[in-house]
Structure 1
Amino acid sequence: MKKIVITTVISLFFSCNSSAQKNETKEKETFTVTKTEAEWKEILTEQQYYVLREAGTERPFSSALNKNYKKGVYHCAACNTPLFKSEYKFDSGTGWPSFDREIKGNVAYGTDTKIGYTRDEEHCATCGGHLGHVFNDGPQETTGKRHCINGVALKFVAEEDE
């Protein structure tokens, strides 16, 4: 009987701390660039909309930017905010463009629990577009960070074009 009571109390404790409560509605962030969903759909491709506005993920190794080693800056595909410099890019072998740091102030962070565990999500600080996630398994000789970014969320601007 004692085991049943203890098991019941423990079960109640964990059920009251469910993941549904962790996904509480948080205050809506305000971004410099805001558009209606219809306006975003008008200016973004279907794949860009899926990633940037619905927090989707492109297939690994599907982005031409994954193996792009030209000098320049990677901008947000939705609002053109500069996000990552080419000198921050490295080949992580994951199939997505990876960077060891961001352009300070242009990338914002949040928590993503959609797949059953917590990840640090990255989004454009100007328009709120979902970019990808940041992990602590990047190059130790620099920052130790791996900003794993969906290529479709980026627009590359070559150095000679800037």
Structure 2
Amino acid sequence: MSNTYKLNHPTVLVVDDEDDVHQITKISLRSLTYNGDRVRVVSAYSAEEALSILRAEPHIAVTLLDVVMESDHAGLDACRSIREELKNKFVRILLRTGQPGRAPEEAVVRDYEIDGYLPKAELTSLRLTTMVRTALKAYEELRDLELRRRSLETLHESVRELDSEVVWSGFLK
């Protein structure tokens, strides 16, 4: 087993009810690579569809999530479901909104476990690419930390078992 996690086949999930947003995002990210792999872009047109995709593909690294879709807060509800229902603490959620007044940045960042807030009116192709690349790196680092935590847990358990065997073998002599 390797001691580090390397993100292979990085995937970005675009969640928005506007087809134009999907098309522009795909164009903006079409040449993005990470660790030598081209970034794959997957589309969902509703919060429910996004949750279905994340259930089927839990290793999606980044979600670009619109706030207002089938309801005024569908994206925020999806954030909660991703973290609480799906228990996915690794996917990096970048919230995109065309209506920042409906989801004020400070409150959203504080109350929902998101990793970036991108008002659509201020979003350039360069900024989007930079934010996605940064989120991919954060995802990879979080997965790496989890791998190391599990390795230490396994090592700790092995030492405890070995210690127990030594105590019992000394007791029996």
- Report the TM-score, using the length of structure 2 for normalisation: 0.23
Larger Rg: 2
Greater strand share, 1 or 2?
1
Greater helix share, 1 or 2?
2
- Report the TM-score, using the length of structure 1 for normalisation: 0.24
